[in-house]
Structure 1
Amino acid sequence: MLTNIRWLKAILLGVLTLVTIVACNSQPEVETNQNAANAPAADLSQLEFGVGPYFPTPNENRNQFEPLFEELAEQVNLPAKVIVTEDWIGISEALRSRTLDVAWLGPWGYVLANHNEPSIEAIATVKYKGKPTYYSVLMARADAPFDTLEEAIAQSQAGEKLKLSLADVGSTSGWLIPTAEFERRGIDPKEVFDYSEGASHAAQAIAVMSGQVDIASDYDRNLDVLASEGRIDTSNLKIIWQSEPLPNDPIAIRGGLPEDIKTELQNSLVNLSPQQTQELLPENYTGFVASDGSNYEPIREAGKLVGKLE
């Protein structure tokens, strides 16, 4: 009997010892995971910024946007790494995969990225000539035998199809908004026109003026840039359709970026002085307004209309 009692005590003592060891070993692991989830901003070694193909070449893009990104990084005491992508989808995918921390996106790129990864947030919308909005346009040569989109559609349906060029499918003004407009009219542009898509914005006006296409999509800001650089003469073009005002480009951040970094970036953007905007931003960009993403609802609605969003 005494032997059985001793045997039972030994088992109980072993179980208590095992529980104590497991508890002691588990506690640091829980603390480590919590610390990782709330990693301070100081744990970031740099801020990685991205920007899409706004200007004709990657070097031009870098020269135009790098000063702003470097200033923003300096405000949070981190070095900046700037990545220039050659397509609109790439920049939103990089933000979604968290290979970028901050990105200057097109509105459609932001909406797609946020739709696929809701933790991606817009923190500011850029102002152009004092306004946080811009326009998508369809343009033709000034001497084209039609003045409106309605006339162009009628001409293309009645005879030889007109050549229509839309930009790449990641572009808000160059693809999404014109495609949504055709959808509203109950028209399939691939049937009505000799249709192509995928062109860069920089090539669209040139293609129209050179006679490669009859109609091309673009946005008013880009035409301003091309004209100011002497690349096009806008008197050789005419706008045959213009959208309703669209929200300008957002600055967006990836999910998981520390809250203090997010707040400081937003404050820095919104509080840029007029002198700073002249020094840090491309021509005619005049600062930022704060955004929580709600101003991009018209873009979401267009995405639903063309069947790209549920």
Structure 2
Amino acid sequence: MHWPKTATIMTVALSCLIVIGCKDTDRGEGSDSVTELTFGVISTESAKGLKKGFKPLLADMSKALGVPVTGRYVTEYSSVITGMTYKQVDIAWLGNKSAVEALDRAGGEVFARTVAADGSPGYWAVIIVHTDSPYHSIDEIIADGGKLMFGNGDPNSTSGYLIPSYYLWGERGIRPVKHFKRVVNANHEANALAIAAGRIDFATNNTENLVLLRAKRPAIAAKIRVIWKSPLIPNDPLVWRKDLPDETKRAIRKFFLSYGRGDGPEAERQRKILADISGGWAPFKASNDDHLLPIREMMVAREVMEIEQNESLSDGDKQAKLAPLKQRLAELHERRQALKESAAENAGQED
């Protein structure tokens, strides 16, 4: 069926309004200046908690850049990515997996990364249960899978979804929606609350959110026990739209990389603001798209694993699907090794 051109335009416009709320002006490539900025925040906890943490940071950013900076707090990670795609989100704090999606689908670019307040190089995905739960290992949970409710993370979450999918379910050939009695998807805070209330049997989470929970809701945290911990996950990146004007990007970079650094009461005030965001942050560090290489490798490796375990595919179909993925995996591994060697060489020269 061929739709009238006017109807198609109206449909697209209406869809944009429904999904993200279109603005009157396009701040895309070629714009000489930016008159406002929108900062997207992933939904690791309630919007109220996130707003409380980010509000003073964004106020300082607005003052430093001389333009209004508005926070966009969403219930799903994908909403931030969609907002960036339609140029309604300019900068975002994202998890590593959602950052990959932002780069590939929304013209994003990594320019900085968060740093844990305690100096940790990253964080860990965990599986949690109620303290009174009879389960103490993943194997015990898998054995009773048919009668257990699983609180999975947002599909674009690194620690809540990608990491457990790869290290726990993929390596065992398990599809959670088929193996467990019921699977529900929610953010870290919602999953923790559901565990503490006994509404689900086990759930994904991460160490950053548990630190935050112990600080702000110790009675809830006391009802939660960790039974599995992943390998280290790199700290979260900050991503901007790479088609923002260069002048704007320079100002954004300067603000984030200088924030909370130095001596004196102002730097101390800024560090206090960072310490109250999420599980607690220290001053940001510069980064780039290579920050996501380990996550990209894992995402491709998971695809390879799923295809290899797919019994409905013939050997020929499997090989046809696997060949480009394995080539991509080799390229990513080669790039990451080259970066390691370059870093080691630079360290040696500094010595």
Establish whether TM, by shorter chain, passes 0.5: yes
Q: Counterpart amino acid of 1:137?
A: V
Q: Conserved in 2, the CA contact under 8 Å of 1:134 and 1:220?
A: yes
**Alignment deviations for residues 16-57 of structure 1 (CA, whole Å, 9 cap, x no partner):** xxxxxxxxxxxxxxxxxxxx95443xx21112222122332x
- Provide the residue aligned with 1:229 in structure 2: 216
State how 1:1-310 maps to structure 2 within 5 Å: 38-40=30-32, 43-56=33-46, 58-117=47-106, 119-129=107-117, 130-156=119-145, 160-181=146-167, 182-230=169-217, 232-273=219-260, 275=268, 276-280=270-274, 281-282=276-277, 284-307=280-303
Q: Conserved in 1, the CA contact under 8 Å of 2:114 and 2:281?
A: yes
- Structure 1 residue 233, shift from structure 2 partner: 4.1
Distance 1:232 1:204 in 2: 15
Relative to 1, partners in 2 of residues 1:279 and 1:205: Cα closer, same or farther, differing over 3 Å?
closer
Give the TM-score normalised by the residue count of structure 1. 0.78
- Structure 1 residue 256, shift from structure 2 partner: 1.0
SS class of match (1:165):
strand
Q: Conserved in 2, the CA contact under 8 Å of 1:125 and 1:132?
A: no
Where does the alignment leave 5 or more consecutive residues of structure 2 unmatched? 1-27, 261-266, 307-323, 326-351
Q: Conserved in 2, the CA contact under 8 Å of 1:136 and 1:177?
A: yes
Q: Conserved in 2, the CA contact under 8 Å of 1:125 and 1:247?
A: no
Q: Conserved in 1, the CA contact under 8 Å of 2:42 and 2:76?
A: yes
- Provide the residue aligned with 1:10 in structure 2: none
Q: Conserved in 2, the CA contact under 8 Å of 1:134 and 1:219?
A: yes
**What percent identity do the matched residue pairs reach?**
27
Q: Counterpart amino acid of 1:197?
A: V
Relative to 1, partners in 2 of residues 1:196 and 1:293: Cα closer, same or farther, differing over 3 Å?
same
Q: Counterpart amino acid of 1:177?
A: I
Q: Counterpart amino acid of 1:218?
A: N
RMSD across aligned positions (CA): 2.4
- Structure 1 residue 152, shift from structure 2 partner: 2.0
Say which one has the larger Rg: 1
- Provide the residue aligned with 1:23 in structure 2: none
Q: Counterpart amino acid of 1:47?
A: L
Q: Conserved in 1, the CA contact under 8 Å of 2:129 and 2:202?
A: yes
**Alignment deviations for residues 134-170 of structure 1 (CA, whole Å, 9 cap, x no partner):** 11111112232232212321343xxx53221102212
Q: Counterpart amino acid of 1:284?
A: G
Distance 2:95 2:194 in 1: 22
- Structure 1 residue 71, shift from structure 2 partner: 1.9
SS class of match (1:262):
helix
Deviating more after overlay: 187-196 vs 207-216: 187-196
Relative to 1, partners in 2 of residues 1:292 and 1:243: Cα closer, same or farther, differing over 3 Å?
same
Deviating more after overlay: 226-235 vs 96-105: 226-235
Q: Following superposition, which runs of at least 4 residues in structure 1 exceed 3 angstroms of deviation?
A: 36-39, 231-235, 305-310
- Structure 1 residue 94, shift from structure 2 partner: 0.7
Deviating more after overlay: 172-181 vs 273-282: 273-282
- Provide the residue aligned with 1:21 in structure 2: none
Distance 1:66 1:49 in 2: 11
Where does the alignment leave 5 or more consecutive residues of structure 1 unmatched? 1-35
SS class of match (1:184):
helix
Q: With CA pairs under 8 Å and 6+ residues apart, which has the higher RCO, 1 or 2?
A: 1
